Amino acid sequence: MRLDTNPYSSPQEHNGPWFASRRHGTSFVPIVAGIALVVGCAFLFAVIGGLVALALNQFAPAYYPGVFPHAVGGGYACIVGVGTGILQGLILGFLVGSVVAASLGWFKQLQLTPCARALTIIAAFGIGFAVVGTLVGYGLGTFAPDYYRGVVSGGRQPNFNPVDVGIGLGCSEGLLFGAVVGTVVVVVLAWRQSGRTSPRTP
């Protein structure tokens, strides 16, 4: 018969979840992995947002002057566009990373391979929707230019280019919508995978 050598201990201290976690050890690996995934997504999306903005400055130079007419006078509309792309990418990456990390952690799939697969799925949907959005925006700017003249704040400017604005809005909005759809797909796939791997009760 073993006697307790600590007179100040109590049964609740031995049997409670806190004592169990101390006795068996608590793994902080999922927490660290989730934080790393969120930070990595935020950084990656910010970089992508800046690169997309630079590409739009090159291939659709009238896009940012059209959507930021207040910055045209100072000649820094393109700089405002790049900064906006980085900031939007940072926010979107934080939200996407948080949802993906939470869902993979909830379904016990917060490992390297599922995380890489999730980012690949999101990237594929983002690129696909960006391409489709760019084509749709180009078509609207070419065949229905008055649409962008009416919905964009700088549409009444004399140097307004509806084709460039359509390309820019279609690409950026398509990329955003594709990332959201890809995130939903990742969550659904993680849920289905957890159902396949979970033990079935007779």
Query: 104 with 110: CB under 8 angstroms?
Result: yes
Give tens-digit pLDDT for 59-92: 999 999 988 888 766 678 889 999 999 999 999 9
pLDDT on residue 13: 44
Inter-CA distances, 159 with 14, 17, 22, 136, 177, Å: 76, 68, 68, 22, 29
Residue 185 pLDDT exceeds 50: yes
Around Cβ 144, how many Cβ atoms within 10 Å?
12
Which of the residue ranges 26-30, 51-55, 146-150, 163-167 would you say has the lowest mean pLDDT? 26-30
What is the pLDDT confidence band of residue 198, given thresholds at 50, 70 and 90?
low
Give tens-digit pLDDT for 109-147: 999 999 999 999 999 999 999 999 999 999 999 999 999
Range 185-192 contact pairs with CB under 8 angstroms and sequence separation of 24 or more: 185/121, 185/125, 186/100, 186/103, 186/104, 186/118, 186/121, 186/122, 187/99, 187/100, 187/103, 189/121, 190/103, 190/104, 190/107, 190/109, 190/114, 190/118, 191/103, 191/107
pLDDT on residue 195: 77
C-alpha span between 53 and 189 (Å, rounded):
31
The amino acid occupying position 85 is: G
Query: 66 with 160: CB under 8 angstroms?
Result: yes
What is the pLDDT confidence band of residue 30, given thresholds at 50, 70 and 90?
confident
Q: 3-class DSSP state for residue 60? A: coil
What is the pLDDT confidence band of residue 25, given thresholds at 50, 70 and 90?
very low
pLDDT on residue 89: 97
pLDDT above 70 covers a percentage of the chain that reads 82
pLDDT on residue 58: 94
Residue 183 pLDDT exceeds 60: yes
Which range has highest mean pLDDT (1-10, 54-63, 70-79)?
Answer: 54-63
